[in-house]
């Protein structure tokens, strides 16, 4: 069985602070990841109590250099992206190219239940810190390697960013207008999807290790987490195999009354697929004369383009007389599927999310108090807690190495090397 000393320490901490036990608070994760995908997956574990030791290179995780920055100041302790991705983790700076960095890594590995990394494939092996290194230290320790295209194959060394990931692996091809280029999702949404998909793999790696007493080296390729994902890509591939049909790039999908996005008094509302319940749509509209026209009630009406255009003419007027919140309130009353297009200001101020406790606040040594989304989901037992904000670079190097039993000389060496960029 894995070494539980670190877990016992974590439990003791929770007892001392009087906080309830968390589901994963007996696990130690040695986190060698950076940027978005790996850190998001390990954040999910850290938020449920795991002691995630984030190993940063001298100079820090690249996400510290990506915005948005508080006050638009590109300071490594002011990235809102890094701040969100690394709550509840501890930061240790190690230079893995140097001896003391490797010695420290070996000490940390002894205490860990899982190692996660997302260096370019082959990097750790070249440093002598790959699968064999960890196996020699602790045979039951699993290693999850996250990479762009996987640990082997012709694209093994290829680079990839959000637009390339979603273009190659995701459903980007059918997104947008027929006569324009395919268009991606917002921000780095695909990276977050792949990070979310990695989290169950991290848990599975720990479970198989505990059950068998032997670790395994798991290979997570971002491109494959996209290709097998639920957001239409897998299904469009099957549709082709079944029917020879490909998916046209076109705004909206399907037909109906209503269908798609409509402007309203102060923005837009999305009624995708709302037309599948015409009875509810009539209720939402409060049965005006124009909408009760029996021609619209025919089963074939939803395939009749001329009739839909006529119906849309009246519906558009109804929308334009109302704000997006008013339209949505009528839709909710009648149980019609609808979503107003919120801006970030709308979302941030919205009373529903405020009232539910979706937002949380963290106090940070450099940024002060910052508001951010809290729990990913609610567990009635052992769930999310904000125990600490994202760490300052190397904030816990000394603390963590002391816990791991490092000598004073080793700690001094690590601190000296880590200070160099």
Partner 1 sequence: MMDKPLKGVRVIDLCVVWAGPFATMLLADLGAEVIKPENPFVFQPMTRGAMARPPAAFLQAAVAWNGGLPGNVPGERPWNYNPTFVSLYRNKKSFTVDLRQPEGMDILRRLVAVSDVVYENNATGTVEKLGITYEWLRSIREDIVFVRVPAYGSTGPYHDARALGVHLEAVMGHTLLRGYEDADASTTTAIYSGDYLAGAQGAFAVMAALRYRERTGKGQLIEVAQAENASPMFTQAIMDYSMNRRVQTALGNRDVHGRYPCGVYPAKSPGTALAQEDHWVAIHVEDDAGWAPFVEALGSPAWGADPRFATNAGREAQCRELDALIAAATAEHEDYALMTKLQAAGIAAAPVLEASRLFDDPHLRARDFFRMQTVEGAGTKEYVGPLWKFPESPVEYYQGPATFGEHNEYVYREVLDVGDEEYAALVTAGHVARGYDPSVP
Output the six-digit token pair for 281: 């749509």
Minimum CB separation from partner 1 for residue 342, in Å? 5
Of 180, 289, 409, 420, the residue at the interface with partner 1 (CB under 8 A) is 180
Of 1, 17, 289, 345, the residue at the interface with partner 1 (CB under 8 A) is 345
Of 3, 14, 135, 247, the residue at the interface with partner 1 (CB under 8 A) is 247
Residue 193 in the binding site for partner 1 (CB under 8 A): yes
Residue 168 in the binding site for partner 1 (CB under 8 A): yes
Nearest residue to 220 via CA among 121, 341, 124: 121
User: 77-116 mask for partner 1 (x: CB under 8 A)?
Assistant: ---xx-xxx-------------------------------
Contact 66, 79 (CB under 8 A): yes
Q: What is the DSSP secondary structure assignment for residue 391, as one 8-state letter? A: P
Residue 270 in the binding site for partner 1 (CB under 8 A): yes
Alpha helices in 267-336 (DSSP H): 278-284, 294-297, 305-320, 324-333
Output the six-digit token pair for 179: 């006569």
Residue 408 in the binding site for partner 1 (CB under 8 A): no
Q: Which CA distances in Å does 75 have to 4, 58, 62, 370?
A: 38, 15, 12, 16
Of 13, 15, 212, 297, the residue at the interface with partner 1 (CB under 8 A) is 212
Contact 48, 19 (CB under 8 A): no
Minimum CB separation from partner 1 for residue 130, in Å? 14
Size of the site for partner 1 (CB under 8 A): 159
Minimum CB separation from partner 1 for residue 396, in Å? 23
Q: Which CA distances in Å does 13 have to 6, 16, 22, 177, 387?
A: 11, 5, 11, 55, 11
Q: Which residue has tokens 């490797």? A: 102
Residue 250 in the binding site for partner 1 (CB under 8 A): yes
If the CB atoms of residues 120 and 419 are measured against partner 1, the closer one turns out to be 120
∠ CA 355-361-367 to the nearest 5 degrees?
150
C-alpha 61/C-alpha 106 separation (Å) is 20
C-alpha 378/C-alpha 46 separation (Å) is 15
Residue 251 in the binding site for partner 1 (CB under 8 A): yes
Residue 220 in the binding site for partner 1 (CB under 8 A): yes
Residue 192 in the binding site for partner 1 (CB under 8 A): yes
Of 14, 236, 314, 323, the residue at the interface with partner 1 (CB under 8 A) is 236
Minimum CB separation from partner 1 for residue 418, in Å? 24
Output the six-digit token pair for 245: 């049909």
Of 201, 257, 390, 401, the residue at the interface with partner 1 (CB under 8 A) is 201
Of 30, 44, 327, 406, the residue at the interface with partner 1 (CB under 8 A) is 44
Contact 61, 37 (CB under 8 A): no
């Amino acid at each position: 069985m894995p070494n539980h000393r670190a877990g016992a320490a974590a439990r003791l901490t929770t007892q001392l602070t009087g906080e309830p036990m968390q589901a994963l608070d007996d696990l130690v994760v040695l986190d060698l990841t950076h940027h978005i995908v790996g850190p998001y997956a390990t954040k999910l574990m850290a938020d449920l109590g795991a002691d995630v030791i984030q190993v940063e290179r001298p100079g820090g995780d690249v996400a510290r250099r990506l915005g948005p920055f508080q006050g638009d100041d590109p300071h490594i302790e002011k990235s809102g992206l890094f701040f969100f991705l690394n709550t509840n983790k501890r930061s240790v700076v190690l230079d893995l190219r140097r001896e003391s960095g490797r010695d420290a890594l070996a000490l940390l590995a002894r205490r860990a239940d899982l190692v996660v990394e997302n260096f370019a494939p082959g990097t750790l092996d070249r440093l002598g810190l790959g699968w064999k290194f960890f196996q020699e230290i602790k045979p039951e320790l699993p290693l999850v390697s996250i990479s762009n295209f996987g640990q082997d194959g012709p694209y093994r060394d290829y680079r990839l960013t959000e637009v390339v990931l979603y273009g190659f692996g995701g459903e980007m091809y059918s997104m947008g207008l027929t006569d324009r280029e395919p268009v991606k999702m917002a921000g780095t949404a695909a990276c977050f999807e792949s990070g979310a998909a990695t989290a169950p793999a991290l848990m599975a790696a720990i479970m198989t290790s505990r059950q068998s007493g032997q670790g395994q080296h798991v290979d997570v390729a971002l491109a494959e987490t996209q290709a097998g994902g639920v957001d239409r890509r897998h299904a469009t591939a099957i549709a082709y195999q079944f029917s020879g049909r490909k998916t046209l790039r076109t705004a909206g999908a399907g037909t109906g009354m209503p269908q798609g996005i409509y402007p309203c008094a102060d923005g837009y509302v999305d009624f995708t697929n709302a037309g599948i319940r015409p009875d509810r749509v009539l209720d939402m509209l409060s049965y005006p004369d124009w909408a009760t026209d029996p021609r619209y009630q025919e089963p074939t009406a939803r395939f009749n383009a001329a009739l839909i255009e006529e119906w849309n003419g009246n519906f558009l007027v109804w929308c334009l007389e109302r704000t997006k919140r008013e339209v949505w309130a009528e839709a909710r009353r009648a149980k019609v599927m609808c979503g107003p297009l919120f801006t970030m200001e709308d979302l941030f101020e919205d009373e529903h999310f405020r009232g539910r406790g979706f937002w949380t606040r963290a106090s940070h040594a450099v940024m002060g108090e910052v508001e951010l989304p809290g729990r990913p989901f609610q567990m009635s037992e052992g769930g999310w807690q904000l125990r600490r904000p994202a760490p300052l670079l190397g904030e816990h190097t000394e603390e963590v190495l002391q816990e791991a039993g490092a000598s004073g000389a080793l700690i001094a060496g690590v601190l000296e090397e880590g200070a160099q960029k």
